[in-house]
Structure 1
Amino acid sequence: MSGFWSALTSKLAERWLTLLVLPGAFYLATAATAHTLGWAHALDLRRLNSAITTWTKNPIATTVGGQIVLLAAILTAAAAAGLAAQALASVVERVTLAPDWRTWPRPLRRAAEQQTDRRRKEWTAAHTTYHQLLAAAAARAADGTRPPPTQSERAEAQAERHPFDQKRTRIGLEEPDRPTWSGDRLHAVTVRVHRDLHLNLPIVWPYLWTVLPEPARTDLTTARTALTKATTLTAWAFLYLPLTLWWWPALPLSAGIALTGWRKTRTSTDTYAQLLEATIRLHLTTLAIQLGISHTDAPTPALGDTLTYHLHTQPPAPNPH
């Protein structure tokens, strides 16, 4: 038992150091540099070295007691900065995924609605054009009065459709329902399993999670953690931005962190969504077995209907009075 607690304490200390202290310490160092150099001497390394030398000769930094107090203060401030970044990350994630944008305050909800409508119109236009070209190609191929299309003609028709298919996919795999790509990427999982399997994912997922094998849970948890880390990186960009008031290099630093966070968020969202959909399709029959529901060897719309029906919670009965 003592070994378990020792391992747990070590793991927590490692996570505390990695997630909070190290990023926070780098932020404090950047803030100290910004305060020391300012705009006028933004890249003056000699000025920075001179300031560091002066700090190290301070009586507080030359005594053991002062060093302990100073280290404790730095660790506390770094952890506080890390906690602030994580708190801001929850806001960044909520805006990025936007699952509840229709309940946002009116100005934000209006902006999200306009963005969603714009993305939906662009997606619909590309989707419609793509299928019109596809139908035209199919009609030409089925026209008995014409010779069959040559390989070059088929390649030309495919090349004509490709830009519209690419544009549609770039906007979203399914018709946009949220103001952001990442939000729609996760929403697409719900749309696809409902269309293909008649499965109401919000109802079934909590039950499916409980019967997943440990490797599947671990993979999903790892992918979801990667998404959280990506939004936390974006949150750090917002914390670095105010330092621009004192030190102009903080602006490109903040922009670089934001760009990296944005790219990582999209990548990790796509990975998580793919893994989530694959897990659902692979293990839906496992849930059916646990519930004693007869099924075929592969998930079907009939099984999705049955699981949704059995797991759906009925609303409260009307008040007789």
Structure 2
Amino acid sequence: MAPVLDSLSQKLAEKWLSALAVPGLLLVAAVAAGAVLGHGSALDGSLLLGRLGQWAKEAGRWPALGQVAVVTAIVLAAVAAGALVRACAEGAERIWTGEWPGPARALAGRLTARRLARWQRIERDIGRLREPATASLRDERVRQDLAELAARRDAIAFAPPRRPTFTGDRMAGTEARLRHQYGIDLAACWSRLWLVLPEDVRTELRTSRSRVDAAVDGSVWACCYLLLGCLWWPAAVAAAGTGLVAWRRGRRAVTAHAELVESAVDVYLRRLVDELGVDVSAGPPDPRVGTALNRVALKAR
């Protein structure tokens, strides 16, 4: 048992260091630089180095206990910043997925309507290109136009948008596709499906989910730097870069995670059916199987 606990402690320490301490230390350093330089001397490296040298000389004359206390305070400030970001990540994830709170629902409705109108307009253009005879569809230019329109449509959503964000529609679209294909309530049946998944599949799902979480955390860090930009304008530039990277990585991570979840259901739903004993028919699962699984998951009669 002791080796297991030691290994777990080491993994938790590594996770804590990467997820909380390092980004928090960067933010603390940025706050210190902003406090020294401000807007007027935002890029004055000599001023910053001079102030740091002065602080180092003063700290060198302190007793060892005082130096340890300062280092401890810096580390605690970094951890507190990281903990604050993690606490705000749940709210940020709701923004990513389009589950906006009451005061923002009106804005969410307008954005959803705008995204739906764009999606439907492109879908109509695709339909017009498909109307001519089959001979026209063989034309290379028509095929290229269709591919470009399909890419533009899928960049908005894979199905008619129901959320104000791409990531929200991507996850909701996965649930809708699985419900249409198998009749399964993914939210109700997922925990039971998880129990029959092989460990390597679970590990891959955890990894893909961690990429989504990292992107959400990155957006919160970007907000922190944006607030610091009120004191020191280079932080606003860093916020823009951090936010852009988080947004791009988040879209890719959510797409990959949604595809992996859908693939897990496609491949292992039959195993769940066999384990629960709700269906003995041959052939691939159909909506009747999903209905039976939902009754088991929801304890419905």
TM over 0.5: yes
Normalised TM-score (structure 1): 0.88
Say which of 117, 120, 133 aligns to 2:113: 117
After superposition, the Cα gap between the structure-2 partners of 1:198 and 1:154, relative to the gap in structure 1 and judged at 3 Å, is farther
CA-to-aligned-CA distance 1:86-116 (integer Å, 9 cap, x gap): 1122211111112x44xx21x3000001111
Identity score, percent: 31
CA contact (8 A) 1:281 1:299 kept: no
CA contact (8 A) 2:59 2:67 kept: no
Q: Name the structure 1 match of 2:226.
A: 241
Spell out the pairing of 1:148-227 with structure 2 (5 A cutoff): 149=135, 153-227=138-212
Offset of 1:200 from its aligned partner?
2.3
CA-to-aligned-CA distance 1:152-211 (integer Å, 9 cap, x gap): x53233234333322211110011111000110111111111222222222222221222
CA distance in 2 between partners of 1:218 and 1:68 (Å): 40
Q: Name the structure 2 match of 1:46.
A: 46
CA distance in 2 between partners of 1:296 and 1:259 (Å): 49
- Structure 1 residue 274 and structure 2 residue 259: aligned? yes
After superposition, the Cα gap between the structure-2 partners of 1:181 and 1:290, relative to the gap in structure 1 and judged at 3 Å, is same
CA distance in 2 between partners of 1:207 and 1:213 (Å): 13
CA contact (8 A) 2:20 2:78 kept: yes
After superposition, the Cα gap between the structure-2 partners of 1:60 and 1:286, relative to the gap in structure 1 and judged at 3 Å, is same
CA distance in 2 between partners of 1:14 and 1:132 (Å): 56
Q: Which has the larger radius of gyration?
A: 1
Q: Name the structure 2 match of 1:10.
A: 10
Q: Name the structure 1 match of 2:288.
A: 302
CA distance in 2 between partners of 1:309 and 1:7 (Å): 41
CA-to-aligned-CA distance 1:16-43 (integer Å, 9 cap, x gap): 1111111111111111001111111111
CA contact (8 A) 2:158 2:170 kept: yes
Say which is worse superposed, 270-279 or 193-202, in terms of deviation.
193-202
Say which is worse superposed, 20-29 or 305-314, in terms of deviation.
305-314
Q: Name the structure 1 match of 2:80.
A: 80
Spell out the pairing of 1:134-149 with structure 2 (5 A cutoff): 134=130, 136-137=131-132, 140-141=133-134, 149=135
CA-to-aligned-CA distance 1:227-278 (integer Å, 9 cap, x gap): 0111001100111112222211111111101111111111110110010000
CA distance in 1 between partners of 2:128 and 2:172 (Å): 26
CA distance in 2 between partners of 1:66 and 1:97 (Å): 46
Offset of 1:300 from its aligned partner?
2.8
CA distance in 1 between partners of 2:274 and 2:155 (Å): 38
Q: Name the structure 2 match of 1:66.
A: 66
CA distance in 1 between partners of 2:167 and 2:252 (Å): 9
CA contact (8 A) 2:215 2:250 kept: yes
CA distance in 1 between partners of 2:266 and 2:82 (Å): 38
Q: Name the structure 2 match of 1:144.
A: none
Say which is worse superposed, 242-251 or 255-264, in terms of deviation.
242-251
CA distance in 2 between partners of 1:44 and 1:199 (Å): 60
After superposition, the Cα gap between the structure-2 partners of 1:59 and 1:201, relative to the gap in structure 1 and judged at 3 Å, is closer
Tell me the amino acid that sits aligned with residue 83 of structure 1: A
Task: In structure 1, list runs of 5 or more residues that go unmatched.
Answer: 142-148, 316-321
Normalised TM-score (structure 2): 0.93
Tell me the amino acid that sits aligned with residue 143 of structure 2: Q
CA distance in 1 between partners of 2:67 and 2:145 (Å): 69
After superposition, the Cα gap between the structure-2 partners of 1:309 and 1:2, relative to the gap in structure 1 and judged at 3 Å, is closer
CA-to-aligned-CA distance 1:45-77 (integer Å, 9 cap, x gap): 111111011101114664321221111111111
Size of the alignment, in residue pairs? 300
Task: In structure 2, list runs of 5 or more residues that go unmatched.
Answer: none
Give me the CA root mean square deviation.
1.9
Q: Name the structure 2 match of 1:319.
A: none
CA contact (8 A) 1:204 1:307 kept: yes
